[in-house]
C-alpha cells in the first residue's frame, strides 16, 4: 500500500480500474456516474471515450473484452435500461478480458426521473453485483470485480448510489498491475449468440450463478462482524455506514456481493442472532430472498423503499430512539433553476409568450416545466420528447399539435432523440422539433459529445453536423437560429408549427457556463425609467431582484449579460454595459 | 477524538464544492479519517445545496444529520436559516451576509424572510460577514468563498501555513494568488 489520498467514490472506481490494468473505458454522462470517466482520462494507459448512449458504450466494452483486454462501462441507473439489450446477452457470452459495468443508483432522486434499483436488473440479467460502502472499497471492489469477471466468465456490475459516488473518503493507492491480453480465438459458441449457441450458454449462466452463490461463503468482500447477538443486521453499501453509526453494538453481516446472495453465509449468521434486520435502500432485494428461505427478517415493514436512509432513521425505526432536534424553519423553497444567461431561458420565454406547449426531454431544460416559464408539459426519458409528440399527433391528428413543439438538447438528441426523429420522418409526422444546441452535455457538468468536435481525452475530432444530419433524413425545413434572437425565433416558431410538415429548429447558443463562452457584458437597471410592469421578471432570471417598491435591481455578480431582460423591457429601464 | 461535523450550505454555483474540498484537504493532511459528501447534478443549477465534512479518528457515515453540526458555513442568509436546525446547541454559524432571491421569491410566491441574522443570533453564535464585498475589494467577487474559509480557519486548530499549502494544491493554478489573498483577508477580518 502506498500514498493516501482523499477521493470521490467515482474517482476511486476509476483508480480501481487503472490499478486493475483496464485498457478501455466507455460511458455516456449521467449523474451520479459521470466523474468515473472524467477521472479515467488522467491515466494514459486507458483509452476512455464518451459514447452517444449507454447501449453503444456497453457494446464498446463488450468488444474490448472480446478482444482480450479488461474494459469498463459506467452509467447512471436509467442508463442501465438503455444498455440492457447488450447487457442481458453479455451475461450469456461472458467475457474474454474482464468486464465491469458500473451502475449508479440515485435514492432520493437528486438528479433523476425515477428511483429504480439496479440490483433487480442484474438479478434478472443473471449477472453478479458487488456493492462497496466507501471510497476505499470502491477501489478495491473494482479490482476484485475484474478478477471475478475472468474467473467466473461474466460481466460484473458494481452498484453504487449517489451518496457513495459523491462522497470523498481516504484511499490508499496501489500500483497498476498490467494484465496480459487474452489471445484471440474464434469461438462462435461463446461469442455468437444465436439459439443453437445461446441454449447451452444459458445452462452455463445458471450454473455460474449457483457457483458464485456458493463461493460467496468465503469471498473476502463478504464479512461477519460478530458483536451483541440480540440484533443481527444484514446490510451492504452506504447503509452499512448508517448501521455502524446508529447501532455500533449490533452484529453485522456486511455483504459485498449482493447478487447472487451467499445463502449459506446468511443462514449461518441468522442462526447466531436473535432478531435479523435487513437494512438496504430502495427495493427489498435482499430481504425478499432471505425471507423466502424462512428467515424471520425485518426490513421494509419498519423502513422504507423511498429515498436515502440515515443513522437517525435507523435509531428511530429499529431502536425506537427518537432523536430530538430543532424544528426546521419554514423558509421559501429554492428549487434548481436555469442559470443567468442560459440560452434555454430565452427559447422558453418565447414559447411561453406564444402559449406553445412543449414535449420535453432530459437535461437542464427540463427546468422549463416550472413557473414562471411553465413551457414543458411532458418529460419521461432520454430522447422521448420527439416520439411523445409524434404519438400525440397520431392519436389526435396534425391540427392537435399546431400549438406544440418537442424540445431536446443536442447531447440528448444524439443519445436517442435521433431515432425518434427518424421515426417522425418515416411515419409522416408533422411535428416541430426544437433542438436546444448549447454545444455541451450541460446538466451533468459539461461533457463533450459527438457534435462538439472534441473527445473525452481532449483530442480534436469530427463534429457531427446536426442540421446536416436532419437534412440527410429527408427533412426539408431545417433552420438554425441564435437562441437570443427572440423576435426571429418567435416568427420562425409561429411559421413552423403552422406547416403540415416536419420541421427542425436548431437554436445555437453555447451554455453560458462553458469556459469557451465569452460573457460580453453586464446588465444594469435604470430605476428612474422603471414602470414596475414586471415584464423583465417573467423569464425568471435569478440575477434580477424585485425591490420592495416594485422596481428591480440586477445583481452584477450573477448577471451574465445575455440581455434577455433588456429586450423584454419596453421602457429602456435596463441597459447593458459592454465589456 | 470525537468526530467533528461541518456543513456548508449555499446556492448551486456559489462554489461550496471547492470549500469542502479545501476543508477535506486540511483535515486529511492533519492525518484524520475524513469523509465529505457533495451535491452534483441538477441541484447545482441555482438550487439549495449542502455539503458535509466529517473528520475524526474514524468516520462511518458521510453525512451530517440534524442537531449534529459543530459549524455551519452558509454562503447565503436564507440558506443559513434553512439549515440552522442541523447545528448542535453550542454550534457556530459563519454567514456570508448576502441575499440571493430564490425563484419562489422572484415570482412572488413567497417572501424573503427579514432579520435572519438577528433571529439566528438569538439562539446561536453567529459570525456574519459581507464576504462578497471583501472579495470585490480584492478585485474578484468569485473568491468570496475563500474569504469565508479564512474566517472559518480562525475557529479551527490547523496551522496557517498548512491552510496556505492546501489552498495552493486545491484551487485552479491560475487563481492561487487571488485565493491566497482572499484567505488572508478572511483570516484577519475583525
Side-chain-side CA neighbours of residue A185 (13 Å): 7
What CATH number corresponds to the domain at position B46?
A: 3.40.920.10
Number of domains forming the structure of chain B: 1
What are B34-43's pLDDT values in tens digits?
999 988 877 7
Poorest-pLDDT segment among A30-44, A202-216, A373-387, B90-104: B90-104
Identify the CA nearest to A558 among candidates A539, A537, A541, A579: A541
Q: How far is B155 from chain A (nearest CA, A)?
A: 23
With contact defined as beta carbons under 8 Å apart, do A13 and A102 qualify? yes
A542 in contact with B, Cβ within 8 Å: yes
What is the pLDDT at residue A252? 98
**Residue A421 pLDDT exceeds 80:** yes
Under an 8 A CB cutoff, do B67 and A324 touch? yes
Q: How far is B154 from chain A (nearest CA, A)?
A: 23
Backbone angles phi and psi of A80, in degrees to 5 = -60, -30
What is the pLDDT at residue A546? 84
Which chain B residues touch A333 with a CB distance below 8 Å?
48, 102, 104, 110
**Residue A105 pLDDT exceeds 90:** yes
A445 in contact with B, Cβ within 8 Å: yes
Nearest CB neighbour to B103, from listed A4, A324, A335: A335
Q: How far is A255 from chain B (nearest CA, A)?
A: 16
What is the pLDDT at residue A1? 57
Reduce the secondary structure of chain B to three states and give it as a string.
Answer: CCCEEEEEEEECCCCHHHHHHHHHHHHHHCCCEEEEECCCCHHHCCCEEEEEEEEECCCCCCCCCCCCEEEEEECCHHHHHHHHHHEEEEEEEEEECCCCCCHHHHCCCCCCCCCHHHHHHCCCEEEEECHHHHHHHHCCHHHHHHHHHHHHHHCCCCCHHHHHHHHHHHCCHHHHHHHHHHHHHHHHCC
β-sheet bridge partners, residue A50 = A27
Which chain A residues touch B47 with a CB distance below 8 Å?
334-337
DSSP A414: I
What are A75-88's pLDDT values in tens digits?
999 999 999 999 99
What is the pLDDT at residue B41? 74
Contacts of A377 by beta carbon, 8 Å cutoff, 6+ apart: A357, A358, A359, A360, A369
A543 in contact with B, Cβ within 8 Å: no
Q: How far is B38 from chain A (nearest CA, A)?
A: 5
Q: How far is B187 from chain A (nearest CA, A)?
A: 23
Which chain A residues touch B82 with a CB distance below 8 Å?
328-329, 331, 334
A132 or B156, which is more confident?
A132
Cα B55 vs. chain centroid, distance in angstroms? 16
Average pLDDT, chain A: 97
Coil/strand/helix, residue A267: helix
A371 in contact with B, Cβ within 8 Å: yes
DSSP A444: T
Q: How far is B31 from chain A (nearest CA, A)?
A: 10
What is the pLDDT at residue A548? 85
Considering only alpha carbons, which residue of chain B is nearest residue A167? Answer: B37
- pTM, full prediction: 0.96
A3 in contact with B, Cβ within 8 Å: no
Which chain A residues touch B87 with a CB distance below 8 Å?
326
Region of residue A551 (left: phi > 0; alpha: psi -120 to 50; beta: else): beta
- Domain around B79: 4-187
What are B23-58's pLDDT values in tens digits?
999 999 999 999 999 888 777 788 999 999 999 999
What are A441-474's pLDDT values in tens digits?
999 999 999 999 999 999 999 999 999 999 999 9
Under an 8 A CB cutoff, do B41 and A134 touch? no
A301 in contact with B, Cβ within 8 Å: no
Please give the helix or strand (H or E) that residue A488 lies within, else none: helix A486-498
What is the mean predicted confidence (pLDDT) over A418-439? 98
Amino acid at each position: 500500500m502506498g500514498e493516501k489520498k482523499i477521493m470521490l467514490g467515482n474517482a476511486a472506481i476509476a483508480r480501481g480500474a487503472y490499478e486493475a490494468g483496464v485498457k478501455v473505458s466507455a460511458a455516456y454522462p449521467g449523474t451520479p456516474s459521470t466523474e468515473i470517466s472524467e477521472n479515467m482520462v488522467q491515466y494514459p494507459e486507458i483509452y476512455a471515450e464518451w459514447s452517444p448512449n449507454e447501449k453503444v458504450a456497453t457494446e464498446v466494452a463488450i468488444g474490448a473484452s472480446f478482444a482480450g483486454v479488461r474494459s469498463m462501462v459506467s452509467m447512471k441507473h436509467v442508463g442501465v435500461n438503455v444498455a440492457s439489450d447488450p447487457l442481458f446477452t453479455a451475461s450469456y457470452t461472458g467475457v474474454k478480458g474482464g468486464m465491469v459495468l458500473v451502475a449508479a443508483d440515485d435514492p432520493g432522486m437528486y438528479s433523476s426521473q425515477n428511483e429504480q434499483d439496479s440490483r433487480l436488473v442484474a438479478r434478472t440479467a443473471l449477472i453478479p453485483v458487488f456493492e462497496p460502502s466507501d471510497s476505499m472499497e470502491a477501489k478495491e471492489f473494482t479490482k476484485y470485480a475484474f478478477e471475478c469477471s475472468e474467473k467466473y466468465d461474466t460481466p460484473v456490475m458494481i452498484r453504487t448510489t449517489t451518496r457513495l459516488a459523491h462522497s470523498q473518503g481516504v484511499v490508499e493507492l496501489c500500483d497498476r498491475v498490467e494484465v496480459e491480453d487474452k489471445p484471440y480465438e474464434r469461438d462462435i459458441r461463446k461469442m455468437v449468440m444465436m439459439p443453437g449457441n445461446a441454449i447451452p450458454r444459458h445452462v452455463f449462466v445458471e450454473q455460474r450463478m449457483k457457483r458464485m452463490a456458493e463461493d460467496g461463503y468465503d469471498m473476502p468482500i463478504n464479512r461477519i462482524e460478530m458483536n451483541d447477538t440480540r440484533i443481527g443486521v444484514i446490510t451492504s453499501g452506504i447503509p452499512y455506514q448508517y448501521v455502524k453509526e446508529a447501532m455500533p453494538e449490533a452484529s453485522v453481516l456486511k455483504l459485498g456481493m449482493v447478487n447472487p446472495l451467499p445463502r449459506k453465509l446468511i443462514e449461518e449468521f441468522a442462526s447466531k442472532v436473535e432478531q435479523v434486520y435487513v437494512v438496504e435502500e430502495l427495493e427489498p432485494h435482499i430481504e425478499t430472498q432471505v425471507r423466502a428461505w424462512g428467515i424471520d427478517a425485518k426490513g421494509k415493514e419498519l423502513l422504507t423503499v423511498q429515498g436515502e436512509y440515515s443513522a437517525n432513521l435507523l435509531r428511530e425505526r429499529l431502536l425506537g430512539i427518537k432523536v430530538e432536534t430543532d424544528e426546521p424553519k419554514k423558509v421559501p423553497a429554492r428549487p434548481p433553476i436555469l442559470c443567468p444567461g442560459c440560452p434555454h431561458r430565452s427559447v422558453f420565454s418565447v414559447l411561453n409568450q406564444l402559449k406553445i406547449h412543449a414535449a420535453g426531454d432530459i437535461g437542464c431544460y427540463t427546468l422549463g416545466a416550472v413557473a414562471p416559464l411553465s413551457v414543458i408539459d411532458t418529460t419521461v426519458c432520454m430522447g422521448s420528447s420527439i416520439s411523445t409528440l409524434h404519438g400525440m399527433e397520431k392519436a389526435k391528428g396534425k391540427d392537435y399539435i399546431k400549438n406544440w413543439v418537442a424540445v431536446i438538447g443536442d447531447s440528448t438528441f444524439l443519445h436517442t432523440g435521433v431515432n425518434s426523429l427518424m421515426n417522425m420522418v418515416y411515419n409522416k409526422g408533422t411535428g416541430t422539433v426544437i433542438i436546444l444546441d448549447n454545444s455541451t452535455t450541460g446538466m451533468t457538468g459539461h461533457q463533450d459529445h459527438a457534435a462538439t468536435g472534441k473527445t473525452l481525452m481532449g483530442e480534436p475530432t469530427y463534429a457531427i453536423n446536426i442540421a446536416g444530419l436532419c437534412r440527410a433524413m429527408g427533412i426539408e425545413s431545417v433552420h438554425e437560429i441564435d437562441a437570443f434572437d427572440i423576435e426571429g425565433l418567435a416568427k420562425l416558431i409561429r411559421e413552423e408549427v403552422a406547416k403540415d410538415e416536419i420541421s427542425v429548429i436548431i437554436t445555437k447558443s453555447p451554455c453560458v457556463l462553458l469556459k469557451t463562452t465569452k460573457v460580453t457584458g453586464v446588465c444594469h437597471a435604470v430605476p428612474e425609467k422603471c414602470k414596475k410592469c414586471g415584464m423583465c421578471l417573467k423569464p425568471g432570471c435569478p440575477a434580477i431582484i424585485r425591490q420592495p417598491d416594485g422596481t428591480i435591481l440586477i445583481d452584477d455578480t450573477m448577471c451574465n449579460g445575455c440581455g434577455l431582460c433588456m429586450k423584454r423591457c419596453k421602457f429602456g429601464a435596463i441597459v447593458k454595459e459592454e465589456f | 477524538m470525537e468526530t467533528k461535523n461541518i456543513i456548508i450550505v449555499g446556492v448551486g454555483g456559489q462554489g461550496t464544492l471547492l470549500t469542502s474540498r479545501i476543508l477535506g484537504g486540511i483535515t486529511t493532511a492533519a492525518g484524520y479519517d475524513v469523509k465529505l459528501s457533495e451535491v452534483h447534478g441538477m441541484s447545482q443549477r441555482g438550487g439549495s445545496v449542502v455539503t458535509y465534512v466529517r473528520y475524526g479518528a474514524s468516520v462511518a457515515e458521510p453525512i451530517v444529520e440534524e442537531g449534529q453540526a459543530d459549524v455551519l458555513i452558509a454562503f447565503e442568509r436564507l440558506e443559513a436559516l434553512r439549515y440552522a436546525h442541523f447545528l448542535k446547541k453550542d454550534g457556530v454559524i459563519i454567514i456570508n451576509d448576502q441575499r440571493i432571491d430564490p425563484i419562489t421569491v422572484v415570482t412572488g410566491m413567497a417572501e424573503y424572510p427579514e432579520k435572519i441574522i438577528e433571529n439566528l443570533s438569538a439562539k446561536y453564535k453567529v459570525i456574519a460577514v459581507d464576504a462578497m464585498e471583501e472579495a470585490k475589494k480584492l478585485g474578484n467577487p468569485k473568491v468570496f468563498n475563500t474569504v469565508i474559509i479564512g474566517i472559518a480557519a480562525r475557529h479551527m486548530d490547523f496551522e496557517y501555513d498548512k491552510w496556505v499549502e492546501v489552498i495552493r494544491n486545491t484551487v485552479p493554478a491560475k487563481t492561487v494568488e487571488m485565493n491566497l489573498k482572499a484567505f488572508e483577508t478572511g483570516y484577519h477580518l475583525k
